[in-house]
Amino acid sequence: MDKILQTDVKYVAGVGEVRARLLNKELGITTVGQLLEYYPHRYIDRTKVYLINEIHEDTATYVQFRARVAGISYAGAERNRRFHVMVQDATGSAELVWFKGVKWIEKRVEVGREYLIFGRPSFYKGQLQMVHPELETMEQALTKGVTCSMQGIYPSTEKISNSFGTKGMFRVMVHAWEIVRNHIGETLPESLITRYGLMSRREALQNIHFPETQELLRQAQYRLKFEELLGVQLNVQSRRCGRLSKDNGFLFPKVGGVFTRFYNEKLPFPLTGAQKRVIKEIRKDTISGYQMNRLLQGDVGSGKTLVALISMLLAVDNGFQACMMAPTEILARQHFATIRRMTEGLEVKVAILTGASKSRERREALEGIASGEVDILIGTHSLIEDKVKFRNLGFVVIDEQHRFGVEQRAKMWTKNLQPPHILVMTATPIPRTLAMTLYGDLDVSVIDELPPGRQPIKTFHYTDAARLRLFGFMKQEIKKGRQVYVVYPLIKESEAMDYKDLNDGYESISRDFPLPEYVTSICHGKMKPEDKEESMRQFKEHESDILVATSVIEVGVDVPNATVMVIESAERFGLSQLHQLRGRVGRGGEQSYCILMSGEKLSKEARARLNAMCETNDGFQLAELDLKLRGAGDVNGTQQSGMAFDLKIANPTADVQILSQARDAAEEILSADPTLSAPSNHGLQELKERFSAKEEIDFSRIS
Ligand code: ADP
Ligand code: MG
């Protein structure tokens, strides 16, 4: 790397000692090179001049237009006088308003004159308005050239913006660029640049900070994202080559007594075609000699647990232990109960370990797995603790993988001398390309078929006005012998209020659904584990008709007799959460319902979410919509995985397309030059270094 890039930022004009310390402390920036990789997170586009009638609610955050002043007026009392300016172009009119600095601005506005007006549009009764816009005469605007540029806005912290002001960072960047502009080397080989039509690194850096057009900005972003993702892929793919060239997988060649007896005597229903196919895929992996690393995607209620159980039985038949990790206590207990029931009378010992395990349960689990007496251990993330020592762990199931962090999952690898096979399961689908590329060598299985006889869940959106009708409907279902969930949101920031809502709701339901005709139970995170468990047991065994709960029951809970899911304040839940909650019903043969309750007033996005829920039951479709609504947000914790690689501009979720190109490129490069030792790959070697995972975790193995 060029020495100039190592220059201390304090030497950049406009920085100095104090701000340099701040940059280091707040943003970890110490050199000019690092400063240059501090990219704007958005741009104000001043390349387009709109006509007034082209500007709508969602045109852009900021817009500019040319218009002539038609008249001025004042409103309000003397001390807080407001200044109103009506302007017009050929297509319409707009109103500009000043609350502050009236004295200054009124001198600059001349009736009849044309101005370039820039600001944040808002609408009042259909009329375009702008509060405190920037205003320039056309002559001024043309000489300053403001109309034709894109202004980068840098992400900031409070301290940074106090010190630098709104445009300060931009000015610093201009000076920094002067220092380094002739010292930016190329990292990528010429062949890649031509092949993918990339900008040079120098052009890209210039245009990411000071783009002249949208198109140049787009090209700059593409180039820089491609480079980052290529850096990640070079790491992921070269590890994959390492893994596949070794024989390091446990072998499960035997289909023994446990499996066969379970299949012939215990299986409560025939497997679906999709379940059978996935089990075959797992069979194939576990006799291949390679260590399995498989992601199982299947919508809520598609029967993933059974696939997991059957796979674990295969491990047991071959002399290995298996474990299954679930994200919540409730779910772990449920899996434990189901699996123990289903394996009754077979030669399989099942134990449970969670954070809430009492000393006896804990001792039994820990001693049992250490001695080898326990074959299958079910639990929460307690399973990854160091004191959990298996005699011979061969197969790990991670249920609802999106609930676990990367590091937690990685720990399961160290639970035997050789890493066990890993099956991770999720109902929250990640687009296939994303999963494959981000996680490198993860194989993906899909259950795309629900067990037979399921009827699609009917979903409705009601407001509070319909509460009486809702209660009537609940009673009707309960009379038919069905059960009902009522779920309240619980968010840390508003925890006290949320608990109040929950308790109020519980009381009101207990009143409206009186004993002995109706039994209502409650379940939430603040209850003692044994009370929670008792509550769940009651509901599961149909001793209660209604379960009032927080989203603790969101994932995994399985009570097939429940047919109604009422979600209170549904507008406060995310789309995937709503879908998960809905998945708690529709698990038996009966028609099931999901009722989304909300207030009258809803934001545009909330309405879109609720509408989508009413329109489709398809988890994949909803996941895609979620991605769109949330933009480049933190879908499925992929952001977290992204962070592990220190990405500055690429977002693996939003940039799937580029990710898959980078993956192809990395594969091709590595197959020709696995160690990147050719002189033309020198830059790539450096790039790979830069994006190697920060911690000592083998990310290619993690799902
Ligand atoms: P998920 O994939 O959401 O984890 P579960 O494993 O909890 O789904 O299964 C949902 C329900 O479907 C359970 O009640 C389970 O017993 C039932 N089930 C699973 N497989 C089948 C099948 N092949 N036929 C009928 N019901 C099944
Ligand atoms: Mg499940």
pLDDT tens, residue by residue, 336-354: 999 999 999 999 999 999 9
Q: In three state form, how does the secondary structure of 93-114 look?
A: EEEEEECCCHHHHHCCCCCCCE
Which residues, 6+ apart, have CB-to-CB distance to 141 below 8 Å? 116, 147
User: Among all ligands shown, which has an atom nearest to the Cα of 303?
Assistant: 1
Question: How, if at all, do strands 82-89 and 63-75 pair?
Answer: antiparallel
Q: Using the mean position of ligand 2's atoms as its centre, give its distance from the Cα of residue 574 in Å.
A: 19
Residue nearest to atom 10 of ligand 1 (CA): 301
For 104-116, letters b (16+ CB in 10 Å) and e give ebeeebeeeebbb
pLDDT at residue 653 above 80? no
Residue 304 Cα: closest atom of ligand 1: 2
pLDDT number for residue 412: 79
Smallest Cα–Cα separation from 593: which of 486, 451, 452, 463?
A: 486
Q: What pLDDT band is residue 370 in, cutting at 50, 70 and 90?
A: very high
Residue 613 tokens read as 């829920």
Q: Does the beta carbon of 272 sit less than 6 angstroms from any atom of ligand 1?
A: yes
Q: Which of 306, 428, 483 to mutate to test the pocket of ligand 1 (most atoms within 8 A of CB)?
A: 306
pTM equals: 0.65
Q: State how far the Cα of 75 lies from the Cα of 162, in Å rounded to an integer.
A: 33
Question: What separation in angstroms does the CA of 618 have from each of 581, 605, 650?
Answer: 14, 19, 29
Q: Using the mean position of ligand 2's atoms as its centre, give its distance from the Cα of residue 433 in Å.
A: 23
Residue 548 tokens read as 């009032």
Residue 386 tokens read as 């160091």
Q: Which of 305, 325, 400 to mutate to test the pocket of ligand 1 (most atoms within 8 A of CB)?
A: 305
Q: Does the beta carbon of 152 sit less than 6 angstroms from any atom of ligand 1?
A: no
Q: Using the mean position of ligand 1's atoms as its centre, give its distance from the Cα of residue 529 in Å.
A: 26
- What pLDDT digit, counting tens, does each position of 683-702 carry? 999 999 888 754 433 333 33
Q: Does the beta carbon of 449 sit less than 6 angstroms from any atom of ligand 1?
A: no
pLDDT at residue 389 above 90? yes
pLDDT at residue 547 above 50? yes
Q: State how far the Cα of 644 lies from the Cα of 393, in Å rounded to an integer.
A: 28
Q: State how far the Cα of 598 lies from the Cα of 615, in Å rounded to an integer.
A: 17
User: Among all ligands shown, which has an atom nearest to the Cα of 301?
Assistant: 1
pLDDT at residue 638 above 60? no
Mean pLDDT of the chain: 87
Dihedral pair phi/psi, residue 654, rounded to 5°:
-80, -30
Sign of the alpha-carbon torsion through 9, 14, 15, 16: positive
For 413-436, letters b (16+ CB in 10 Å) and e give bebbeebbbbbbbbbbbbbeebbb
Q: Does the beta carbon of 338 sit less than 6 angstroms from any atom of ligand 1?
A: no
pLDDT at residue 267 above 90? yes
- What pLDDT digit, counting tens, does each position of 94-134 carry? 999 998 888 889 899 999 999 999 888 999 888 999 999 98
Q: State how far the Cα of 29 lies from the Cα of 19, in Å rounded to an integer.
A: 11
Residue type, 12: V
Q: Does the beta carbon of 298 sit less than 6 angstroms from any atom of ligand 1?
A: yes
- Give the whole-number percent of the chain exceeding pLDDT 90: 58
Give one word for 76, left, alpha or beta, with left for phi > 0 and alpha for psi -120 to 50: left
Residue nearest to atom 1 of ligand 1 (CA): 301
Q: Does the beta carbon of 427 sit less than 6 angstroms from any atom of ligand 1?
A: yes
Burial class (CB in 10 A: 0-12, 13-18, 19+), 270: exposed
- Give the whole-number percent of the chain exceeding pLDDT 70: 90
Q: State how far the Cα of 531 lies from the Cα of 527, in Å rounded to an integer.
A: 6
Residue 587 Cα: closest atom of ligand 1: 11
For 274-298, letters b (16+ CB in 10 Å) and e give bbebbbebbbebbbeebbbbbbbbb
pLDDT at residue 703 above 50? no
| Beta bridge pairs of residue 119 | 63
Residue nearest to atom 12 of ligand 1 (CA): 303
Residue 688 tokens read as 């790979």
Residue 125 tokens read as 């009764």
Q: Which of 277, 299, 302 to mutate to test the pocket of ligand 1 (most atoms within 8 A of CB)?
A: 302
Which residues, 6+ apart, have CB-to-CB distance to 123 below 8 Å? 57, 129
CA dihedral 84→89→90→95, nearest 10 degrees, is -30
Q: Does the beta carbon of 304 sit less than 6 angstroms from any atom of ligand 1?
A: yes
User: Among all ligands shown, which has an atom nearest to the Cα of 297?
Assistant: 1
Question: 326 with 402: CB under 8 angstroms?
Answer: no
Q: Does the beta carbon of 560 sit less than 6 angstroms from any atom of ligand 1?
A: yes
pLDDT at residue 643 above 70? no
Q: Does the beta carbon of 302 sit less than 6 angstroms from any atom of ligand 1?
A: yes
Residue 501 CA to its chain's centroid (Å): 27
Residue 300 Cα: closest atom of ligand 1: 3
Q: Does the beta carbon of 341 sit less than 6 angstroms from any atom of ligand 1?
A: no
Report which of residues 276 and 494 the model is more confident about: 276
Question: How, if at all, do strands 114-119 and 134-137 pair?
Answer: antiparallel
What is the rounded average pLDDT of the residues 311-318? 97
Residue 11 tokens read as 């030497």
Residue 576 tokens read as 């995937």
Q: Does the beta carbon of 586 sit less than 6 angstroms from any atom of ligand 1?
A: no
pLDDT at residue 632 above 60? no
User: Among all ligands shown, which has an atom nearest to the Cα of 326?
Assistant: 2
Question: How, if at all, do strands 458-463 and 593-598 pair?
Answer: parallel
Smallest Cα–Cα separation from 447: which of 272, 635, 622?
A: 272
Question: Strands across the sheet with 127-131, in order?
Answer: 121-124, 127-131, 92-98, 82-89, 63-75, 114-119, 134-137
Residue 583 Cα: closest atom of ligand 1: 3
Q: Using the mean position of ligand 1's atoms as its centre, give its distance from the Cα of residue 297 in Å.
A: 14
Question: 568 with 549: CB under 8 angstroms?
Answer: no
Q: Does the beta carbon of 437 sit less than 6 angstroms from any atom of ligand 1?
A: no
Q: How many CB atoms lie within 10 A of CB 529?
A: 15
Q: Which residue has the tokens 């120098």?
A: 202
pLDDT at residue 139 above 70? yes
Q: Does the beta carbon of 201 sit less than 6 angstroms from any atom of ligand 1?
A: no
Q: Using the mean position of ligand 2's atoms as its centre, give its distance from the Cα of residue 306 in Å.
A: 9
Residue 298 Cα: closest atom of ligand 1: 2
Question: What end-to-end distance do the CA atoms of the chain give, in Å?
Answer: 34
Residue 425 tokens read as 């399961």
Question: Strands across the sheet with 546-550, in order?
Answer: 458-463, 593-598, 562-567, 483-488, 546-550, 520-523
Q: State how far the Cα of 483 lies from the Cα of 548, in Å rounded to an integer.
A: 11
What is the rounded average pLDDT of the residues 18-35? 93
